[in-house]
Amino acid sequence: MSYQVLARKWRPRTFSELVGQEHVVQALVNGLDQDRVHHAFLLTGTRGVGKTTIARILAKSLNCETGVSSTPCGECGSCVDLDEGRFVDMLEIDAASKTKVDDTREMLEGVQYTPTRGRYKVYIIDEVHMLSGHSFNALLKTLEEPPPHVKFVLATTDPQKLPITILSRCLRFNLTRLLPDQIGGQLEKILQSESVTAEAPAIKRIARAADGSMRDGLSLLDQAIAFGGGSLKDAEVATMLGSIDHVHIAAIIDGLLEADANALLTIVNDLSLQSRNLETVLDELAEAMHRIAMIQAAPDFRDPERADWDSLLERADKITPEDAQLYYQIAITGRRDLGLAPDPRSGLEMTLLRMLAFRPSGAAPPSTSAPQPAPARTAAPADEVAAAVSPGTSPDWSSLQASLDLSGAAREFARNLQLENAGRERWKFLVPDTLQHLGSNSVVQSLQSALSDRLGHAVKLDLHTASEPLQSVAAAVQKDEISRASDAERAINEDPTVTQIREKFDAKIVPDSVQPLQ
């Protein structure tokens, strides 16, 4: 007997065998069991998530010889013929190759005739968005007044291209991309049934590479079994897929932390020589930055499924939240534009160099052959600052916070604080209740460290929430801006030339359009 690929051999034949799509299954099961089956369905979603499979199971449920139900017997002649794709009353049409109106009319000619064998005629039209405008018009009339013995199941990966007249006459279900855990669980079940030994990391790697598609996952599994000679080893699967290991991503993060352009370019060259899939580097880097941001926001969070979690924990302490967000944004933008680059390697190299070029000004400059002189500080020395804020004094928080080595969220957080009391080892601040979400652990730690460095000794921050308005730097700046804007509007309204123009041309000053001079 000829070999049958896993995607066909393990295609679900009942609703209970489907992986995921519970929201679709529940609606269809209830409709079948309660005899409330719509005459036209529209299934949307990316490739390989189960659109055609659900359509076939629905056709089998409607035509099972034991009666209409959500649990067809699978043994009667109708069920067997439906499973093998030779049931005469189930017509599958590929709209991509039948786009002309004549094709559609030919298909619909048989709609008026009763089923030859089954209870219902079921028309499954795949990639229905490929039909022409005239074809949609021909289909529309039938969808409006279908015979009672006909059911339509339309499937598409691009529902935006369907006319609203078609959409409004169908019961629509949006199928979601499958999660890696869902795909991995099904792959593990199949491997056990096929008596194929497999390493757990190899299964997870294939599940992630499937990108939400069960069919793609099964195709990759077939390829991996052949590549590994009947077994799955993670190293061999990584070679087959050209995967990027977490060791490579950790090296890239280290290169970014050290602002070492030479190291980054060397890593890209090594990956290229190893025939790795360079297009996935930015995906993996963005995911790593996402995990690092999660660690920084919730230090107690841990993903037990990630083998590189300890590596990410180590680097989360070295990278600022601002840099993590910056690298994430540049990575996903660079991934989106990678197809516009001359080739994947140059696109990846330019994206990594862009991360260095757009580092915050307080970050270390890219490494070069000659050391760069440190920038001169204009702020007062630490001993002078410490003397100015000795116990019993009221320091100028506006000037002091401006001299701190802060950036991003930490700088903005400091600008919105009101200093209540400055002791030698403990500083008490009020935080606006509307902005307390800015005070994450990493932000507070950055501010505390910067203030300690500036004063020359360790201090601890004592933060308390309070209702606005507070006497913060940000509030003072906002108050000054409002005052200057008000003065500017008054000056414009009282300007003689403006008054003449308004009177002569019945002109009006657009509200909020007047801006003070900088």
Residues 28 and 84 reside in one and the same domain: yes
Residue 518: per-residue pLDDT = 56
Strands 460-466 and 90-94 turn out to be unpaired
C-alpha 291/C-alpha 112 separation (Å) is 58
Residues 37 and 152 reside in one and the same domain: yes
Residues 70 and 154 reside in one and the same domain: yes
Report the b/e string of 187-207 with b at 16+ CB within 10 A. beebbeeeeeebbeebbbbbb
* Cβ neighbour number for residue 217 with a 10 Å cutoff: 29
Residues 66 and 168 reside in one and the same domain: yes
Q: How far is CA 403 from the centre of its chain?
A: 38
Residue 25: per-residue pLDDT = 92
Taking alpha carbons only, the member of 282, 284, 272 closest to residue 245 is 284
Q: Quick check: is 209 in a domain? A: yes
Mention every residue, 6+ apart, whose C-beta is less than 8 A from residue 145: none
Residue 374: per-residue pLDDT = 38
Order of all β-strands in the sheet with 171-174: 90-94, 121-126, 150-156, 40-44, 171-174
Residues 217 and 264 reside in one and the same domain: no
Q: Are 249 and 217 in contact (CB under 8 A)?
A: no
What residue type is 264 in one-letter code?
A: L
Q: Any idea what the Cα angle at residue 415 is, between residues 413 and 421, rounded to 5°?
A: 95
Q: Quick check: is 377 in a domain? A: no
Q: At what angle do helices 180-193 and 200-209 cross, to 10 degrees?
A: 130
The pair of three-digit structure tokens given for residue 194, joined into one six-digit string: 């096929």
CATH number, domain containing residue 418: 3.30.300.150
Residues 11 and 117 reside in one and the same domain: yes
Residues 31 and 108 reside in one and the same domain: yes
CATH number, domain containing residue 321: 1.20.272.10
Q: Quick check: is 452 in a domain? A: yes
CATH number, domain containing residue 37: 3.40.50.300
Its domain, for residue 456, covers: 382-471
The pair of three-digit structure tokens given for residue 53, joined into one six-digit string: 């499979």
Provide the residue-wise pLDDT of the chain in tens; the chain has 518 residues: 467 888 888 999 999 999 988 999 999 999 999 988 999 999 999 888 999 999 999 999 999 999 998 999 988 999 999 988 889 999 888 888 877 777 788 888 888 888 888 899 999 999 899 888 888 888 888 888 888 999 999 999 988 889 999 998 899 999 998 988 899 999 999 999 999 999 888 998 899 888 889 999 999 999 999 988 888 888 888 888 887 878 889 999 999 998 899 999 999 998 888 888 888 899 989 999 999 998 888 887 777 666 677 888 888 888 888 889 999 999 999 999 988 999 999 999 999 999 998 876 545 444 433 334 434 444 555 565 554 555 545 588 888 888 888 887 788 888 888 888 888 888 888 888 777 777 788 888 889 899 888 888 888 888 888 876 778 887 777 777 777 777 777 887 888 887 877 777 777 777 667 666 65
Q: Are 105 and 131 in contact (CB under 8 A)?
A: no
Q: Based on the structure, what is the number of domains in the chain?
A: 4
Q: What is the DSSP letter of 280?
A: G
Prediction pTM value: 0.60
What DSSP element (H or E) covers 18?
none
Taking alpha carbons only, the member of 180, 178, 172 closest to residue 206 is 180
Which residue among 174, 197, 220 closes a domain?
174
CATH number, domain containing residue 226: 1.10.8.60
Which residue among 216, 241, 266 closes a domain?
241
For the chain, percent helix, then strand, then coil, each to nearest 5?
A: 55, 10, 35
C-alpha 309/C-alpha 289 separation (Å) is 12
Q: Quick check: is 481 in a domain? A: no
Q: Quick check: is 514 in a domain? A: no
Mention every residue, 6+ apart, whose C-beta is less than 8 A from residue 188: 198, 203
Residues 98 and 196 reside in one and the same domain: no
Residues 229 and 166 reside in one and the same domain: no
Residues 23 and 46 reside in one and the same domain: yes
Residues 267 and 326 reside in one and the same domain: yes
Q: Quick check: is 370 in a domain? A: no
Which residue among 241, 263, 285 closes a domain?
241
Q: Quick check: is 44 in a domain? A: yes
Q: Quick check: is 363 in a domain? A: no
Residues 149 and 22 reside in one and the same domain: yes
* 3 state DSSP class of 479: helix
Q: Any idea what the Cα angle at residue 98 is, between residues 95 and 103, rounded to 5°?
A: 125
Integer CA distances (angstroms), 61 to 50, 120, 211, 489, in order: 16, 10, 30, 73
Residue 306: per-residue pLDDT = 65
Residue the block writes with tokens 């935080």: 431
